[in-house]
Amino acid sequence: MNELEGANTRVEALSEGQSSPFLDAWFDLTSADHFWFQWRFRATWRLLADSDVSASMPLRVLEVGCGTGVLLEQLEAATAWTVDGADLDRAALEHVPAGRGRVLFYDLHDRLESMYQAYDLIVLFDVLEHVVDTAPFLSSLLHHLKPGGHLLINVPAEPWLFGRYDEAAGHVRRYDKRSLRDEFRNSSDVTVCDMRYWGLSLVPIVLLRKLVSLWQTQSKAVIERGFQPPGELVHSLLKSMMRVEDALVRNPPLGSSLLLLARKDAPNSMV
């Protein structure tokens, strides 16, 4: 277990190989103050509050694809969990803030013995839509989860909204409830506990983004204009829209994103 060469961080290199950088334009825009990250966390918190996943228990959690650690920091601030963050983008990992957990340069497919069934909960937010062959990826993911543990996933929703922004962001697909559930159709030891859309009010905005991006050619510009609100006034309005929807619509019939909570059943479980 070695510190990354030339990095003055607490990043642990559990895997060898080259860094796989994500879009610089994306990480430049990530912030806990951004309305989308706040909205995503609100939706996540509501789902957790309605589940049997305890925020007060000292669970050991792994966030896969943690990036610069925005969600990791949100989770540790709101719970008693110790959240380890894993990613294959070394530059992003160097910006993960100090917390209770570890920061890991780690490829899930390595399936290290020390990581086998090591976690009570695995968080996979806005990663699965980037994976071409999802079956082996999910198999490696579940290798790290304890029997009885939970898997929490967020993905972009509504396949009909797929557009130039998705392509620029490296998305292979957008999901609906059926297609997300189908990701586990061959996993006999996984029970889907709950699925919820969020961001109902964002659907027309994402549709507008899809139409506008048809005339944009540079990926960086597509990401920046498609994710960053054009000014503080618009940003404030989006936050207000988030609060109104959160108060009035508990479980929307559709949304710009989709959350899933699943449980890894113990062997020979009768559930």
How confident is the prediction for the chain on average, in pLDDT?
90
* CA distances from residue 36 to 51, 198, 235, 260 in whole angstroms, order as listed: 23, 11, 10, 18
Distance CA 159, CA 147 (A): 32
In order of start, what are the domains of the chain with their CATH numbers? 2-264 (3.40.50.150)
Our CA dihedral for 143, 258, 47, 185, rounded to 10 degrees, sits at -40
Distance CA 42, CA 36 (A): 10
Which tens digit of pLDDT belongs to each residue from 75-130?
A: 999 999 999 999 999 989 999 999 999 999 999 999 999 999 999 999 999 999 99
Distance CA 164, CA 210 (A): 6
pLDDT-derived band at 244 (thresholds 50, 70, 90) equals very high
Which tens digit of pLDDT belongs to each residue from 125-168?
A: 999 999 999 999 999 999 999 999 999 999 999 999 999 999 99
